[in-house]
Amino acid sequence: MRGFRRDNVKVYINGTLHEKDDAKISVYDHGLLYGDGVFEGIRCYNGKVFKLKEHIDRLFESARSIALEIPLPKEQLAQAIVDLLKTNGLKDGYIRPVVTRGMGNLGLDARKCSNPQVIIITDTIALYPAEFYDRGLDICTVATIRNHPDAVNPRVKSLNYLNNIMARMEATLANCQEALMLNHKGEIAECSGDNIFLVKRGLLRTPPLDAGILEGITRNTVIELAKGAKMEVQEIPLTRHDVYTADECFLTGTAAEIVPVVKCDGRMIGSGKPGAVTGKLRERFMALVRQ
Contact 139, 177 (CB under 8 A): yes
State the CATH number of the domain containing residue 26: 3.30.470.10
Question: 48, 157, 230, 280: which one is catalytic?
Answer: 157
Known active-site residue 157? yes
Domain boundary among 65, 97, 123: 123
pLDDT digits (tens, 9 = 90+) for 122-155: 998 877 889 999 999 999 999 999 999 999 888 9
Tens digits of pLDDT across the chain (291 residues):
333 345 689 999 999 999 999 999 999 999 999 999 999 999 999 999 999 999 999 999 999 999 999 999 999 999 999 999 999 999 999 999 999 999 999 999 999 998 999 999 999 887 788 999 999 999 999 999 999 999 988 899 999 999 999 999 999 999 999 999 999 999 999 999 999 999 999 999 999 999 999 999 999 999 999 999 999 999 999 999 999 999 999 999 999 999 999 999 999 999 999 999 999 999 999 999 987
Q: Domain check: are 174 and 276 in the same one?
A: yes
Q: Domain check: are 172 and 277 in the same one?
A: yes
Asked if residue 1 belongs to a domain, the reply is no
Q: Domain check: are 188 and 99 in the same one?
A: no
Partners of residue 179 on adjacent β-strands:
140
- 232, 227, 187: which is closest to 210 by C-alpha? 187
Would you tell me how many other CB atoms lie within 10 Å of the CB of residue 159?
18
Q: Domain check: are 190 and 89 in the same one?
A: no
- pTM (two decimals): 0.94
What's the pLDDT at 3?
37
Contact 75, 68 (CB under 8 A): no
Q: Domain check: are 237 and 162 in the same one?
A: yes
What's the pLDDT at 7?
64
Asked if residue 18 belongs to a domain, the reply is yes
Asked if residue 171 belongs to a domain, the reply is yes
When divided into structural domains, the chain yields a total of 2
Q: Beta strands of the chain (E only): which ranges? A: 10-13, 16-19, 37-39, 42-45, 48-49, 93-100, 118-123, 137-141, 178-182, 188-191, 195-200, 203-206, 233-235, 248-253, 257-264, 267-268
State the CATH number of the domain containing residue 171: 3.20.10.10
What's the pLDDT at 6?
57
Give me the domain span that covers residue 24.
6-123
Q: How far apart are CA 15 and CA 36, in angstroms?
A: 21
